[in-house]
Structure 1
Amino acid sequence: MLKLMKLELKKQRLGWYWKGALIAIFSVLMLMGILPSLDPELEDAFGSFEEVFTAMSTFVRVIFVIFAAVLIGKLIIQEYNNKTMSVMFTYPIPRKKLIMAKLLLIMGITFITILISNIVIFILFLVLNSFMHLIPGFPTKELLIHQGFDILIQGLSAVGISMVPLYFGMRKKSVSATIVSAIIIISLISSNNGGFSLSSFIVIPILVGVIGLLIAYLSFRNVEKVDVI
């Protein structure tokens, strides 16, 4: 399986993804660190490190769930539409294994980029804050540990959530349907209305994540018996 994932990674040109990840990191840092210092109305938008870290991790999760939908569209939906998937299914490798390798690659990339992006943004924000004093003091050890666990759990749940759009994409064999459904789903989970957010109840993103993993399994459960259209 690992060998198939490596081959898939070599086959796909993902330079656009890594460039997009860097742009996303810079954009979140700009939004959370630099813009408040330039706009007086936003200067007091965040009163504590906890609020800043929570907002940052939310932005990162939203961005990379959408990026995962783009990967699903490129690695799976588009290959069905271009008929290249039918060529792959002629290989002496079980179809389930081929599809699973693609999905595991997408999930792995999503999880790793969410973790790394959060860590990089947090570190850069702390460095920026030491010069600009956006928030007084320094985050406590307890807060950093708690935030680390939260990033890990939210990252795992985001991996599952990123699989939900696969259902909509496979039904219509549409890349746009995959991406649009991802935007709608992650927006509903991460939206903040008067301080209330579904993602604040950790059981909800975890539940949606489990549903997403189930959808991923169901999407290729019968792939050995179904003809590629």
Structure 2
Amino acid sequence: MIKLMKLELRKFKIMGYIRVAAIANVIIFGFMMLMSYTPELDGTIVFRDYNAVFSMIDVFVRGTFIILAAVLVGRFVIDEFNSKTITVLFMYPIKRHKIIAAKLLVVILFTFVCCVISMAFLSALYLIFNSFTHIVSGELTMTLVMQQVVKLGFNAISSSFMALIPLYFGMRKYSLPTTIVSSVILVMVTCSNNGGFNLNDIIIIPILLALLGAFIGYMSIRKIDQIDIN
């Protein structure tokens, strides 16, 4: 399985997606800077405390990498079926289940790692920035840090499985645009921030969506033998 995953990483040039992830981090931090200086423009306070900062970083990161995961699903799976190149892979003396499982595992692990690293990196970067500017008042306690570490891990895991939900829509007609659009809708529903609140804060929702994504991935692997590539 690990060898299959490495082959997938080489085949689709994963370094290109890592660069995209790095650029996304720069853009997210730019938005954070812009929002930090909003009070000087209209008198509102966007980041009242560190909890609000971490919450906004979480929303940006989850939304960005769920959509990027949909792009990966589209490239790794949907495009292969659409162009019929998957038939070449299925000719190898390797079970279809393992081939599809390797592809989905790459997407899950890539999304998880990107979410963890991005949330940690952006949080640390903003803390350094705030140590010079003092835009966000309040004390950063160890209790808050530990709460955010737990939340970071939970959201990274849930997002990595939630990112498989667009696979269901993309596989219906082997459509990459449908896969990406469904991920955008998913992000709009789960990551929209209304007054500091989003649906992801209701813990049962990300759990159910993660389970749904895991189920879709499992069924895609299980039913792969029933799919006829003409």
Q: TM-score range by the shorter chain?
A: over 0.9
Distance 1:146 1:84 in 2: 46
Given that residues 72 and 166 in structure 1 are in contact (C-alpha distance below 8 angstroms), is that contact kept between their aligned partners in structure 2?
Answer: yes
Distance 2:42 2:80 in 1: 47
Q: Secondary structure at the match of 2:155?
A: helix
The structural deviation recorded for 1:15 is 3.0
Distance 2:49 2:197 in 1: 18
Distance 2:157 2:15 in 1: 24
The residue type paired with residue 186 of structure 1 is V
Q: Which ranges of structure 1 fall in alignment gaps of 5 or more residues?
A: none
Distance 1:129 1:22 in 2: 21
The alignment's TM-score, normalised by the length of structure 2, stands at 0.94
The structural deviation recorded for 1:137 is 4.5
User: Once the two structures are superposed, what CA deviation does each residue of 1:127-176 show, in whole Å capped at 9, x if it has no partner?
Assistant: 11111111124411110100000010011110111000000000010000
Counterpart residue number, 1:174: 175
Counterpart residue number, 1:14: 14
Counterpart residue number, 1:77: 78
Counterpart residue number, 1:107: 108
Given that residues 94 and 224 in structure 1 are in contact (C-alpha distance below 8 angstroms), is that contact kept between their aligned partners in structure 2?
Answer: no
Distance 2:18 2:95 in 1: 30
Distance 1:206 1:42 in 2: 37
The residue type paired with residue 200 of structure 1 is D
Distance 1:72 1:131 in 2: 41
Q: Secondary structure at the match of 1:193?
A: coil
* Poorly superposed stretches of 4+, deviation over 3 Å: 193-196
Residue 32 (str. 1) matches residue 32 (str. 2): yes
The structural deviation recorded for 1:35 is 4.4
Distance 1:193 1:34 in 2: 18
Residue 124 (str. 1) matches residue 125 (str. 2): yes
The structural deviation recorded for 1:5 is 0.6
The residue type paired with residue 176 of structure 2 is V
Distance 2:26 2:132 in 1: 18
Q: Secondary structure at the match of 1:224?
A: helix
Distance 2:71 2:98 in 1: 21
User: Once the two structures are superposed, what CA deviation does each residue of 1:40-99 show, in whole Å capped at 9, x if it has no partner?
Assistant: 337621100001101111110000000000000001101111211000000000000000
Once the two structures are overlaid, the 10-residue window that deviates more, 9-18 or 103-112, is 9-18
Identity of aligned residues (%): 40
Aligned positions, number? 229
The residue type paired with residue 29 of structure 1 is F
Residue 214 (str. 1) matches residue 215 (str. 2): yes
Distance 2:128 2:168 in 1: 42
Q: CA RMSD in A?
A: 1.5
Distance 1:45 1:184 in 2: 25
Given that residues 50 and 138 in structure 2 are in contact (C-alpha distance below 8 angstroms), is that contact kept between their aligned partners in structure 1?
Answer: no
Once the two structures are overlaid, the 10-residue window that deviates more, 1-10 or 110-119, is 1-10
Distance 1:216 1:82 in 2: 21
Q: Which ranges of structure 2 fall in alignment gaps of 5 or more residues?
A: none
Given that residues 95 and 224 in structure 1 are in contact (C-alpha distance below 8 angstroms), is that contact kept between their aligned partners in structure 2?
Answer: yes
Distance 2:102 2:91 in 1: 16
